[in-house]
A and B are shown apart, each in its own frame.
Chain A
């Protein structure tokens, strides 16, 4: 930012430190307030516990149905008046408009001096508007309180001031303060002819900002959920100092006998299945090399097309196909009965736990090998033909050509794939194992991802499953960087 020579940036350099600090505080607060519009826990409009907890300020402002969906009787009996709900919605819209003005001002404050001065006028109006909206929300709260007292139903309608109300009060105050400081320390543009302009780099950034925010909300914000690992949290409960347990759940990974034996079993399954996958990771290469040896291009193309189909169906459908082939009335049994004339062939192969690991490997191979081979097929097409010609002149047969030219040519790609699968050794996904799981094979099929799903979502053990998930994430990242380091050291190229 410092090294740039254009006028907008240098104008900013000229401002005092206090002005710049308050500008940045203002921008950050405006950004957070903007996001908080869509953030249900920070909804200042949830002035009764009966208002849907999943509604954000934005939803409260626009959707009457959403906020009232669990207060049918309360509204019918007029314990909460319709007019108060309307007042609440209007005041939420007012708050929202104030926040939007502040956010727009924050965007404009990235422009040149003229644009910044104009932009800073927006929060100077917007923050007071937020204040008015919040006051109206408080009014709606008081109305509900008095009306509830009159009808004697305060216990049912549970009127309250939500935490989000105070959060937004703080936002409004901070925005007003910082914007005012920034506004009055920014000298007005003396050149009357100056126009509002923004440096290209900030324009581009602002255009990118929505994407960045979405990514932040859905990929980074979940890390905030790691805090559950440090509390005795039960679904629907709260977390606070009273149930803070420190590292108890991390300890239970090593101390609690039941958890330890579960983990050992689950890790065994995970490592064996990933290990089998890595041990057979050369199969796509073999597939590609052999396919390239077939002379007919049309045959090659047909095989390639048909063998990639299974990659595009979901694991649920793979399971449907498994039922179709291997269940009691499936293909294998009817083939044995009708064609081989074997009597009493009615085994349900899916219910047999023997060789589960191997079966899962075979299903994975069936689904994936044709698809994984595509990279290598293209790799073979990219190998210089002169190498083969030269080798043949020197008297090499086709096996030697494969061994000394094709395979070495595919090795770099293979190394990348191998390192990635080593880095992902703990993540085999849960869908495949979930659909194939049954009472017979659940001890041998439960991998780490499925285990987390079972204890977290199935048994509601949020803290324990979070701890397992954290450990898995951290190990995964470590392995990835390890693999990347190895790759850099050996090939001089990074894989991520």
Chain B
């Protein structure tokens, strides 16, 4: 983010035209920011309001509950989130998604750190050829169906490994790590080598600790990508609904015309009647959406500088 001050400009008097212009752009940005944020807020208040009011379209700007007379008053409830435990198939998809986010991201980061370090080694046999071999895959792919047939041939359909193995080699992240490592003074590495450290030791003890900023950046990108993954689940897991990712599950919920209330497993902590009135399809859709947005919103403020750093490194590379 730009921290530059406009000191030299300060002594120049702002004309009326400047004032109008400044106000106009501030209003413009406030409006656009509201457009970006309000949908999330609206989704949230829909999940914490009275469900009848939600489905009858009474919620506008604040969460509302019904009073004794059945009118909407300001209020909040979290029953929908509690009731989610009874929604069929949701639990498995959350577990699968968390597992692939953790495992997939870890494998990707380790591979990128390793490959990114090795491709900086001028001594490697045919180094530039292998580097290009990895990087060119960013710009070229065989197409959806050949890719699918390949995964089928490798036995990676209906298989959890399909979520974590193919994503291990991420060329763009390898480039980012390589660029970063090249900025680390070579002398650090050389002195360790003189002391007899092997390549693995140098990588583990020197390169990885010094590359933590870039590794954090790519792990955030990787984690968000894994959390948002939808296409591989849609294409590869046809016979294993228990391996659907959260986004795929949500996609099914969003498209199901039948009442999701009927998909609730029997029993649970709430009476059936209460379940029927509380858990209509729309509210389940909203609540599941909210659940899958919340982790991103929670990590987002802490990670934003890493995001920005990541895209900047990419831009430097061009």
A interface residues (Cβ-Cβ under 8 A, vs B):
1, 38-41, 54-56, 59, 200-205, 207-208, 211-212, 214-215, 217-226, 228, 290-295, 297, 299-310, 312-317, 319-321, 323-325, 328-331, 333-335, 337-339, 346, 366, 370-371, 374-375, 377-381, 385, 388-389, 392, 398, 413, 416, 430-431, 435, 449, 452-453, 456-457, 462, 465-466, 468-470, 472-473, 476-477, 480, 493, 495-496
The reply to whether the CB of B115 lies closer than 8 angstroms to some CB of chain A is yes
In B137-173, which residues have CB < 8 Å from any A CB?
137, 139-150, 153-155, 157, 159, 165-166, 168-169, 171
B142 and A226 contacting across the interface, CB-CB below 8 Å: yes
User: How near does chain B come to A324, taking the closest CB pair, in angstroms?
Assistant: 5
Given A39-B154, A220-B137, A378-B312: A292 in contact with B42 (beta carbons within 8 A): no
The reply to whether the CB of B254 lies closer than 8 angstroms to some CB of chain A is yes
New contact pairs (11) apart from A222-B146, A224-B146, CB-CB < 8 Å: A40-B154, A201-B124, A204-B118, A225-B150, A290-B25, A303-B29, A312-B228, A316-B230, A456-B145, A466-B145, A472-B143
Give the chain B neighbours of A56 by CB distance below 8 A: 155
Interface-facing stretch out of B178-186, B205-213, B285-293: B285-293
B interface residues (Cβ-Cβ under 8 A, vs A):
1-4, 6, 8-9, 12, 18, 21-22, 25-26, 28-29, 32-33, 35-37, 39-40, 42-43, 46, 54-60, 111, 114-115, 118-119, 121, 123-127, 130, 133-134, 137, 139-150, 153-155, 157, 159, 165-166, 168-169, 171, 199, 224, 228-231, 235, 247-248, 250-251, 254, 282, 285-286, 289, 292-293, 296-297, 300-301, 304, 307-308, 311-312, 315, 318
A211 and B155 contacting across the interface, CB-CB below 8 Å: no
* 22 A–B contacts, CB within 8 A, in A order: A40-B154, A207-B114, A207-B118, A208-B115, A211-B114, A214-B165, A290-B25, A299-B29, A309-B37, A309-B40, A316-B248, A317-B247, A319-B254, A320-B254, A324-B42, A324-B43, A325-B39, A374-B311, A392-B12, A457-B144, A469-B146, A473-B142
B115 and A211 contacting across the interface, CB-CB below 8 Å: yes
User: How near does chain A come to B38, taking the closest CB pair, in angstroms?
Assistant: 8
Give the chain B neighbours of A329 by CB distance below 8 A: 54-57, 282
User: How near does chain B come to A311, taking the closest CB pair, in angstroms?
Assistant: 9
User: How near does chain B come to A227, taking the closest CB pair, in angstroms?
Assistant: 9
Give the chain B neighbours of A208 by CB distance below 8 A: 115, 118-119, 124, 130
Give the chain A neighbours of B9 by CB distance below 8 A: 388, 392
A301 and B26 contacting across the interface, CB-CB below 8 Å: no
Cα distance, A469 to B145, chains bound together (Å): 7
User: How near does chain B come to A305, taking the closest CB pair, in angstroms?
Assistant: 6
A309 and B300 contacting across the interface, CB-CB below 8 Å: yes
B154 and A215 contacting across the interface, CB-CB below 8 Å: no
Cα distance, A291 to B145, chains bound together (Å): 43
Give the chain B neighbours of A204 by CB distance below 8 A: 118, 121, 123-125, 127, 199
Cα distance, A55 to B140, chains bound together (Å): 29
B235 and A435 contacting across the interface, CB-CB below 8 Å: no
A468 (CB) vs chain B CBs: closest residue: B143
Given A215-B169, A381-B2: A205 in contact with B125 (beta carbons within 8 A): yes
Give the chain B neighbours of A456 by CB distance below 8 A: 144-145, 148
A377 and B1 contacting across the interface, CB-CB below 8 Å: yes
Cα distance, A392 to B252, chains bound together (Å): 59
B289 and A321 contacting across the interface, CB-CB below 8 Å: yes
How many A-B pairs have beta carbons closer than 8 Å: the answer is: 280
Cα distance, A371 to B55, chains bound together (Å): 34
3 closest A-B pairs by beta carbon, nearest first, are: A469-B143, A225-B146, A54-B155
Give the chain B neighbours of A1 by CB distance below 8 A: 125
Cα distance, A416 to B159, chains bound together (Å): 39
A321 and B40 contacting across the interface, CB-CB below 8 Å: yes
B112 (CB) vs chain A CBs: closest residue: A211
Q: Which of B33, B147, B254, B300 contacts A222 (CB 8 A)?
A: B147
Interface centre among B37, B230, B248 (most CB of A within 10 A): B230
B301 and A305 contacting across the interface, CB-CB below 8 Å: yes
User: How near does chain B come to A395, taking the closest CB pair, in angstroms?
Assistant: 11
A430 and B231 contacting across the interface, CB-CB below 8 Å: yes
Given A211-B115, A309-B37, A388-B8: A452 in contact with B145 (beta carbons within 8 A): yes
User: How near does chain A come to B11, taking the closest CB pair, in angstroms?
Assistant: 10
Give the chain A neighbours of B153 by CB distance below 8 A: 39-41
Cα distance, A332 to B284, chains bound together (Å): 20
Cα distance, A222 to B146, chains bound together (Å): 5
Cα distance, A425 to B181, chains bound together (Å): 34
B25 (CB) vs chain A CBs: closest residue: A290
Given A307-B32, A329-B56, A466-B143: A203 in contact with B250 (beta carbons within 8 A): no
Cα distance, A294 to B104, chains bound together (Å): 41
Q: Which of B1, B142, B282 contacts A300 (CB 8 A)?
A: B1
Give the chain A neighbours of B125 by CB distance below 8 A: 1, 201-202, 204-205
A222 and B60 contacting across the interface, CB-CB below 8 Å: no
User: How near does chain A come to B1, taking the closest CB pair, in angstroms?
Assistant: 5
Cα distance, A325 to B153, chains bound together (Å): 43
B290 (CB) vs chain A CBs: closest residue: A320
A227 (CB) vs chain B CBs: closest residue: B146
B26 and A305 contacting across the interface, CB-CB below 8 Å: no
User: How near does chain A come to B236, taking the closest CB pair, in angstroms?
Assistant: 10
A476 and B165 contacting across the interface, CB-CB below 8 Å: no
Give the chain B neighbours of A388 by CB distance below 8 A: 8-9
